[in-house]
Structure 1
Amino acid sequence: MSPREIFALRDYLGPDVAGRTISDARQVVSLTNSVGRTCLGDRLGELSGRSVMLAVSDQLISAIAMTEIDGVAKRMLLCPPDLNADHFKTLMEDAGIDAVVTDHPERWTDVETGMVVAAQSPVGAAAPVRTERATEWLMLTSGTSGVPKIVGHTLEGLTGAIVADGPARGGSAVWATFYDIRRYGGLQIFLRAVIGGGSMVLSQPGEPIGDHVARLKARGVTHISGTPSHWRKLLMSGSAADFSPRYVRLSGEIADQAVLDGLRAAFPDASIGHAYASTEAGVGFAVNDGLEGFPASLIGNRNGVEMKIEDGSLRIRSTRTAHAYIGRGAADLTDREGFVDTGDMVELRGDRYHFVGRRGGIINIGGLKVHPEEIEAVINRQPEVRMSRAKSRRSPITGAIVVADVILADGQDAARSDEIRARILADCKASLAPHKVPAVIKFVQSLDITAAGKLARRDA
């Protein structure tokens, strides 16, 4: 048998599809012509066969650099811009990094590494790049205060769901995401734009959401994704008016019925769905029927993705999953049968599984386990509520109680707060076990969101 042909990301770019761009808040760059441009000057050849850390603060430069490095380097570690610098040394040792690509080379003068290559805005390249090898893509897990885990992927695995879905329907797509493309969810959208022949509009850290959405509208965005928390912030901002994407997707957190219904009201003509994916498990499935949870019929082997429920946790096996955790003493990523234990807990209700929370996110109330997401789903379905956060608080009497911070929907009269609080409590008492009912409900103006776009969860 002849060896399989190796494809790199740059092989999906070229002059055959005109008008493709990638843009941020400052500039627009042609994707069509990017194979003839470089962010790395004349130093790309020096990265051949090396293990490269891509530590570029600028998202657009990082995107172009990815297309250059893939197929040249042995492996490429993607670093989101909020990564704690104290973790660099450990991550570099675990990943065997011997070269760093950065747009701030002055910050690396005291770091022991084989090579530092400066990245800059793309300029004309002197010579075409030849694909030499299948580069290993390394990504970092989110949601931990310690050193993140390094997860190893292949480009083939990362693009498995994209290739299976085929090009976006309805003509050339303009993609956008609230995620950073150095995180799994954002990378999936960037890869969809590159492989599917579309354009890409990048998010900008710290950009007011109204300005961000104005950019999305100006660039003609048709396809956009984000976490439920991202979407709740958009709905609260009032910026959805006159924004009319035809494809809206949620991932990264539990998509409860309230946020799905809110998006349906805001974007009545869009295809609205939620996808299940994680850095370790890859893309599992998408749900497009407008309902929270997923049909029980998805359990089993469908289109090469096999799922099962064990001890209440969703487990996935497919060619889209990562192949290993990387580093000294790294744990096994899969069990003996090749399944990734996602740690996402589900519950069968009728013919549908519902996500109830993370195994590691359980709070303890008087010795009883509580998933805060289950409480939030009940609170969020109140028409007066836009977003909520349930957590535990120490109590001298019971040891701990549930408290809830709640953001009211636009137009709600603060004078009705006692009435709304009573309605929330009544629904919680009717829907939840007594120990899950919030003892305190506080109305707030905002809730913290992590750099990964998820609701920040810190118990009192």
Structure 2
Amino acid sequence: MSPREVFALRDHLGTALTERSISDPRHVVSLAQLATDSCLGGRSGELDGRSVLLATSGQLLAGLALIEIDGVARRMLLCPPDLKPEHLASIIADAGIDAVVTDEPQRFAECGVDLVITVGLPQPSTATGQTVRATEWLMLTSGTSGVPKIVGHTLDGLCGAIVGDSPAPGEAIPVWATFYDIRRYGGLQIFLRAIVGGGSMVLSDPGEALADHIARLAARGVTHISGTPSHWRKLLMSGSIEGFRPRYVRLSGEIADQAVLDGLKRAFPDASIGHAYASTEAGVGFAVNDGLEGFPATLLGEGRGAVDMKVVDGSLRIRSKRAAHAYVGRAAAELTDGDGYVDTGDMVELRGGRYYFVGRRNGIINVGGLKVHPEEIEAVINGHPEVRMSRAKSRRSPITGGIVVAEVVLTADADPMRADMVRNQILAECRTRLAAHKVPAMIRFVAALDVTPAGKLARTDA
């Protein structure tokens, strides 16, 4: 395959680069610099044909480096910031890593890799990257207690759901942001939408207070933003949205229930509010823009577009060119079934011509021998007007073996004197809409709920 038949990310940068940028709380880098400068000290040629681990302390350097590395390296593994040190050796071995790009070279001094290149902000260089191959993009799965799986993608597949048309002449350049880290699938999708779609990108920072983050997004003129429902619930209860007026708001990564969709519509009445389904393995499945939770049953079937979907034993399955092509590693499992479908493990139920997500197959809690999806309970609780977010979990019981308990965060304007009344109202609604074994035996009001580094509600049974 000749270089002209291969396109790397840098080849999709397009025009108007001086007006576009990538920024974090400390730096703003013009995309025009990437056409002439190097963040690798002009050493990208040393990565020719290598399997590269990209491990940086922050997102900005990761974003700059992956643009320079793509099309040069044989494969590139994006290392998320929460990778446990004890898993590093296994990841390096499974991915065949023979080069590391990092701003923390001392961290990899004894990792057994012979080439470590330091990444920094772009500097003038006579050696610029040349596209010579289609680099394989490797990502790690989240939400696992063991060594994460390595998932292999191509740039074409990652960009399969992205409309790459640049803004029309005279049209404002979109400014994208996400609460996700771009070294995870959800964040990478937004980063690629900005770079390929002719926009700018404003990156998040875990050390930045939420109010400061939102103020920065507003100051940078962010027009398009995404996050998990947990991200959005935290923002809605923070009181920090004043002055922030995006025109495009999207949710993904968790079940988007009606309460959070309605809350966002009230907060951003002039914005397009929608939720998308995507996963690291299955890629981008679909988007729902009608303001309702769940998705129409008409989306299922084959030959309806770029994505084929079906439901088997209650689990959503997806076949798509946007999906990953394989798990990578010495003992990697098969990614798809015999017909090319990825079993997502996300469970759905059909109600009146629409499918509703009820939870993860491996997230079921056991209540007296009966299986319960905690998300189903949370959707009912979150529907109360004075509830911002909740978490249902099981607790051991000497009588039944397990009971459901719930932790609930109330809205900022909720009256603490009404707590008992709100608790009784929640329980009454649960008794009306849920089977008896799903009704919480106890509801505890809390100030906040933890989320994982991937932005999802942290789940641990008591």
Same fold at TM > 0.5: yes
Distance 2:56 2:255 in 1: 30
Q: SS in structure 1 opposite 2:45?
A: helix
What residue number does 1:339 align with? 341
Distance 2:41 2:17 in 1: 25
Q: How far is 1:81 from its partner?
A: 1.1
Q: How far is 1:14 from its partner?
A: 5.3
Question: Are 2:165 and 2:198, in contact at CA under 8 Å, matched by a contact in 1?
Answer: no
Distance 1:168 1:395 in 2: 59
Equivalent position amino acid for 1:213 in 2: I
Equivalent position amino acid for 2:85 in 1: A
Q: SS in structure 2 opposite 1:213?
A: helix
Q: How far is 1:149 from its partner?
A: 0.2
Q: How far is 1:34 from its partner?
A: 1.4
What residue number does 2:189 align with? 188
Q: SS in structure 2 opposite 1:341?
A: strand
1:68 aligns with 2:42: no
Q: How does 1:46-85 map to 2 (within 5 A)?
A: 46-85=46-85
Question: Are 1:51 and 1:96, in contact at CA under 8 Å, matched by a contact in 2?
Answer: yes
What residue number does 2:201 align with? 200
Distance 1:188 1:370 in 2: 32
Q: How does 1:296-311 map to 2 (within 5 A)?
A: 296-301=297-302, 302-311=304-313
Equivalent position amino acid for 1:236 in 2: M
Distance 1:127 1:121 in 2: 15
Q: How does 1:169-184 map to 2 (within 5 A)?
A: 171-184=172-185
Give every structure 1 segment of 4 or more consecutive aligned residues whose post-TM-superposition deviation is greater than 4 Å: 1-4, 14-17, 165-170
Q: How far is 1:17 from its partner?
A: 4.2
Distance 1:344 1:31 in 2: 38
Question: Are 1:13 and 1:32, in contact at CA under 8 Å, matched by a contact in 2?
Answer: no
Distance 2:40 2:199 in 1: 24
Distance 2:148 2:214 in 1: 31
Which 10-residue stretch deviates more, 328-337 or 118-127?
118-127
What residue number does 2:324 align with? 322
The sequence identity of aligned pairs, in percent, is 71
Distance 2:296 2:27 in 1: 43
Distance 2:188 2:83 in 1: 16
Q: How far is 1:128 from its partner?
A: 2.9
Deviations 1:218-258 (A, max 9, x none): 00000000000000000010111111000000000000000
What residue number does 2:224 align with? 223
Equivalent position amino acid for 1:25 in 2: P
Q: SS in structure 2 opposite 1:428?
A: helix
Q: How far is 1:42 from its partner?
A: 2.5
Question: Are 1:136 and 1:152, in contact at CA under 8 Å, matched by a contact in 2?
Answer: yes
CA RMSD of aligned residues (A): 1.4
Question: Are 2:18 and 2:30, in contact at CA under 8 Å, matched by a contact in 1?
Answer: no
Q: How far is 1:205 from its partner?
A: 1.2
Question: Are 1:61 and 1:119, in contact at CA under 8 Å, matched by a contact in 2?
Answer: yes
Distance 2:421 2:108 in 1: 57
Deviations 1:156-203 (A, max 9, x none): 00000003x755796310000000000000000000000011000000
Given candidates 413, 416, 428, the residue that maps to 2:415 is: 413
Q: How far is 1:207 from its partner?
A: 1.1
Distance 2:167 2:143 in 1: 31
Distance 1:236 1:194 in 2: 31
Aligned CA distance change for structure 1 residues 166 and 351 (closer, same or farther; 3 Å):
farther
Question: Are 2:430 and 2:439, in contact at CA under 8 Å, matched by a contact in 1?
Answer: yes
TM-score, normalised with respect to structure 2: 0.97
Gaps of at least 5 residues in structure 2 are none
Question: Are 1:14 and 1:32, in contact at CA under 8 Å, matched by a contact in 2?
Answer: no
Q: How far is 1:303 from its partner?
A: 1.9
Distance 1:379 1:83 in 2: 33
Q: How far is 1:3 from its partner?
A: 9.5
